[in-house]
Structure 1
Amino acid sequence: MEVTSVSSRPTLPALPNPATIPVVASGLAAELAYAFGGPFHYLLPDAFTANLTAMQDALAGAGVDGFVYYAKKANKAAVFVERAAIGGVGVDVASAAELREALGHGVRGEHLMVTGPAKDPQLLRLAVTHSATIAIDALDELDQVISLALTGRVRPARVLLRALPASQPHSRFGMSEDELTTALKRCLQAGDAIRMEGFSFHLSGYALQPRADLTARLVDLCLTARLQGLEASRISIGGGLPISYTDADSWHTFLATQRPEHYHANKAFGTGDFYPYHSPVAGADALAALLATRPQDTESTLAELIRDAGIELLLEPGRALLDQAGATVFRIQGVKDRDGYQLLTVDGTSLSLSEQWFNSEYLPDPLLIPQDQTRATATGMFPASVGAATCLESDMLTWRKIAFPHPPRVGDLLLYPNTAGYQMDSNESPFHDLPLPPKVVIDHTDRTRPRWRLDRHFT
């Protein structure tokens, strides 16, 4: 196999994660691959806890009263829900199964946020029964909740009214200005059956200014609703806090140099097809920057507006809480030589690396772990693309010809870094009757030999 120069192919090195070092160096990754006989995900819950603490510190540093709900859809693993419960924060759910799972792993009912459009009646009934906060997406949904609350007569239903963003008028989420006006009237008419706690929104993208502008608008709506006699003291800004998978130079160089010939079968991607794998501010820093942003036509920062209005800010982060909280490991089971590169086949599918199924590419470079560690010394650059063990031409984990430091061989492992957020199980399916990769929780990563256990997901 011909060795190519480093500069001939774009790379995208992942930001280092010290917790991965003992998993690989101790031989644990190789042992788990052997034990499970297929791909697996490993989870690093300490990273979740650190990210959560950083967000809480950002809220406190800005003097803002806030509450975090982990967006469970980002990863189905039970351990992250357990960490949320231990940390005294909430969980954002959008199905009856997710709600039951959260309750079963220790999250209090009043710490649940129920989102999603056109919610199932069973989900609404459970939400009202357990005093979860419900983000109302439509007038007919509000009517259902009022009816449930009036029928039950146990406790008031807690609701937020979801606003349609003016900047995204074609969004399928939220209510228009006229619908919000009608919703406020219906909340008033419902009396003690409804506790209208405030407003929420779903905003696509990661830009901070539009999020600050819309939050400021909802602060005004809260003040208006209070004048009508409603509580209106909370605003949920959803998720959308970016994270960085790589450094700025690597990201911008990659975008500037990547071309179809760098991919198997000359697959063409536009720069807009990729998730923004680098952000100037990310995670808790992005939250701090958001709170320091001045909404349009105001002299105050967002934090100042929220404090002055006595608003509790609600967050629903998913990816940002899962940054560096896990990785995915495949075993190479086939190697083919192509013209100037190799085509690898691994023992799983790209359904376990979900970005591919959005017609995109998960770009952070995978780590090659040789079965024979004597080959671990870098000797050159050996390009290879990575395909899956299915009968589909399109089932590619990595179309890009990754420049590995030594030739990949059958039995070697590929470790895809930082996959906990939306990559592990958003699209997984037992295609060809292949089992879904198990999730392994890594505990005590400060030990020479990390401990592990299977995740306790109920469903």
Structure 2
Amino acid sequence: MAVTTPAPRPPSLPAHHDPDTDRVVRSGLLQELSYAFGGPFHFLLPARFDANLAAFRTVLEETGVEGRVHYAKKANKAAVWTERCAVHQAGVDVASVGELRDALGNGVRGENIVVTGPAKSVELLRLAMHQSCLIAVDSLDELDLLATMAITGAVGPARILLRCLPPDQPHSRFGLEQEELETALDRCVRAGDALGMEGFSFHLSGYATQPRCDLAGRLVEMCLRARRMGLQADRISIGGGFAVDYSTAEHWHAFLGEQRPEHFHAHKVFQNGDFYPYHSPVAGAEALRAILTAIPRDGHIPLAELLRQTGTLLMMEPGRALLDGAGATVFGIQGVKHRDGYSIITADGTSLSLSEQWFNSEYLPDPLLITPQGPAHPGRTYPAAVGGASCLESDMLTWRKVPLPAPPRPGDLLVYPNTAGYQMDSNESSFHDLPLPPKVVIDRPADRPVWRLDRRPAC
């Protein structure tokens, strides 16, 4: 039964064209894997991770800045990303014993690992010190614990950064206030060789580049002061927050301008501010370039020149930006029911595997409809919302009535593009005893892709 297209047509948000994903979709592999796994799965494209890492390093080289890129491991749990970091001598940012062991188990050297997060456990600190990891200290208590562990000879010495509370985000629960930083510097001096104070770090919410440049400039000045106190203090970390550009400006602004409650199942309402900015004019490695070429507040020269003149190394911890275009999520259509002017699809998994829903938001890039004959060709539009296979009303992969190019049918596939960054496993669970979707690594996208299952080392 054909679904009548309502008037006006619901807005779409097509993702940027991606040749590697297109090759995988056209190959027929996804239908085979869906049959083999009997449920949803993710596919990963490590070559895209390599290209994104290279782009960050190219910006550092072109701006003459000594820097190191650390992959923020929390963005995706797959082992393949830390494998690629090991191959390319890149760093990893971890925040738990499990993440640290995983990085080490995949070949990343301890000195290339940064340990972040609040109130770290003694077990995590001990392992990090044994492996010569760099530890971002978040409190004076943590600093004292590290000093005690090192001075008593249990492990040590400790390599540390002092994490700063951003002045423009004073309500953050992370970082040391200015008075605490003064105390911490004094304690680092008194601790002597037990604490190797290598510099400062921060993490800002949001994606604006100028505030990162401003705070980085301030931290360089703090490094100079710490050096006068006899501390190493030769590096700063600006954290993550490098935006990803999922769609064109035209499509994004049109979507925001056109979307209304009637375009969503059950008239679900999302405020525009709740959506991730799916278009960003400055994204990924180019956001790093914007930070480096800007002049810090109250400064006189670009940040890149300031770093060069002061001999300060720049560290960063991108997650989503290194995973841009590096994976997608595939659901099978298990059932379809028809409502007034649109369909409700039931997928063979749950919205736990598409994490934006669990942050009271919506993953907006349009899913691709794949029929047994291949990708559906554009024609009429058939709006459809997508629900999960659980018994919860809130289990919706897509509340939005996506204008599909063909009527959805059981056995078809929905491919959600560009989900590797924070989407595909941040909140996955085996609800209803459904297995977690496996991850398929596609090492060579081609007419006949070469694939393998992602490997995870024993922890």
Mark the runs of 5 or more structure 1 residues left unpaired by the alignment.
none
What do the CA deviations read for 1:155-175 (whole angstroms, capped 9, x no partner)? 421000000000000000000
Conserved in 2, the CA contact under 8 Å of 1:103 and 1:109? yes
What do the CA deviations read for 1:390-446 (whole angstroms, capped 9, x no partner)? 01000000000000111000000000000000001110010000000000000111x
Q: CA RMSD in A?
A: 1.2
1:21-100 → structure 2 map (5 Å cutoff): 21-100=22-101
Distance in 1, matches of 2:379 and 2:322, equals 37
Say if 2:271 is the partner of 1:270: yes
Distance in 2, matches of 1:149 and 1:383, equals 62
Distance in 2, matches of 1:395 and 1:436, equals 16
1:226-237 → structure 2 map (5 Å cutoff): 226-237=227-238
Say if 2:343 is the partner of 1:342: yes
Say if 2:125 is the partner of 1:124: yes
1:178 aligned counterpart, secondary structure: helix
Distance in 2, matches of 1:371 and 1:267, equals 32
Distance in 2, matches of 1:66 and 1:377, equals 46
Residue 387 of structure 2: aligned partner: 387
For 1:93, the aligned partner's letter is: V
Distance in 1, matches of 2:30 and 2:243, equals 29
Question: Given the superposition, is the C-alpha separation of residues 424 and 359 from structure 1 closer, same or farther in structure 2, using an over 3 Å criterion?
Answer: same
Deviation at 1:362, TM superposition (A): 0.1
1:25-424 → structure 2 map (5 Å cutoff): 25-152=26-153, 155-373=156-374, 376-424=376-424
Deviation at 1:299, TM superposition (A): 1.8
Residue 453 of structure 1: aligned partner: 452
2:148 aligned counterpart, secondary structure: helix
Aligned length: 457
- Quote the sequence identity (%): 65
1:192 aligned counterpart, secondary structure: helix
Higher mean Cα deviation, 220-229 or 292-301? 292-301
Question: Given the superposition, is the C-alpha separation of residues 339 and 57 from structure 1 closer, same or farther in structure 2, using an over 3 Å criterion?
Answer: same
Say if 2:28 is the partner of 1:17: no
Deviation at 1:22, TM superposition (A): 2.1
Deviation at 1:348, TM superposition (A): 0.2
1:435-446 → structure 2 map (5 Å cutoff): 435-445=435-445
Deviation at 1:296, TM superposition (A): 1.2
Deviation at 1:154, TM superposition (A): 5.9
1:81 aligned counterpart, secondary structure: helix
For 1:443, the aligned partner's letter is: D
Conserved in 2, the CA contact under 8 Å of 1:6 and 1:403? no
Question: Given the superposition, is the C-alpha separation of residues 455 and 6 from structure 1 closer, same or farther in structure 2, using an over 3 Å criterion?
Answer: farther
Deviation at 1:147, TM superposition (A): 1.3
Distance in 2, matches of 1:268 and 1:376, equals 29
Distance in 1, matches of 2:333 and 2:368, equals 12
Deviation at 1:20, TM superposition (A): 1.1
For 1:272, the aligned partner's letter is: G
Deviation at 1:7, TM superposition (A): 6.2
For 2:88, the aligned partner's letter is: G
Distance in 2, matches of 1:3 and 1:236, equals 54
2:160 aligned counterpart, secondary structure: strand
Question: Given the superposition, is the C-alpha separation of residues 342 and 154 from structure 1 closer, same or farther in structure 2, using an over 3 Å criterion?
Answer: closer
Conserved in 1, the CA contact under 8 Å of 2:129 and 2:155? no
For 2:14, the aligned partner's letter is: P
Distance in 1, matches of 2:260 and 2:152, equals 61
Distance in 2, matches of 1:410 and 1:153, equals 60
Mark the runs of 5 or more structure 2 residues left unpaired by the alignment.
none
For 1:132, the aligned partner's letter is: C
Distance in 1, matches of 2:452 and 2:94, equals 25
Distance in 2, matches of 1:319 and 1:275, equals 12
Conserved in 1, the CA contact under 8 Å of 2:246 and 2:279? yes
Distance in 1, matches of 2:61 and 2:181, equals 31
Conserved in 2, the CA contact under 8 Å of 1:109 and 1:130? yes
Length-normalised TM-score, structure 2: 0.98
What do the CA deviations read for 1:7-49 (whole angstroms, capped 9, x no partner)? 6211100001111122111110000000000000000000000
Runs (4 or more) in structure 1 with deviation over 6 Å come to none
Deviation at 1:4, TM superposition (A): 2.5
Distance in 1, matches of 2:405 and 2:344, equals 16
Length-normalised TM-score, structure 1: 0.98
1:379 aligned counterpart, secondary structure: coil
Conserved in 1, the CA contact under 8 Å of 2:3 and 2:338? no
What do the CA deviations read for 1:259-283 (whole angstroms, capped 9, x no partner)? 1000000001111010000101110
Conserved in 1, the CA contact under 8 Å of 2:324 and 2:420? yes
Distance in 1, matches of 2:55 and 2:279, equals 19
For 1:433, the aligned partner's letter is: D
Deviation at 1:6, TM superposition (A): 9.1
Distance in 1, matches of 2:66 and 2:142, equals 29
1:15 aligned counterpart, secondary structure: coil
Distance in 2, matches of 1:122 and 1:340, equals 57
Distance in 1, matches of 2:264 and 2:168, equals 36
Higher mean Cα deviation, 361-370 or 288-297? 288-297
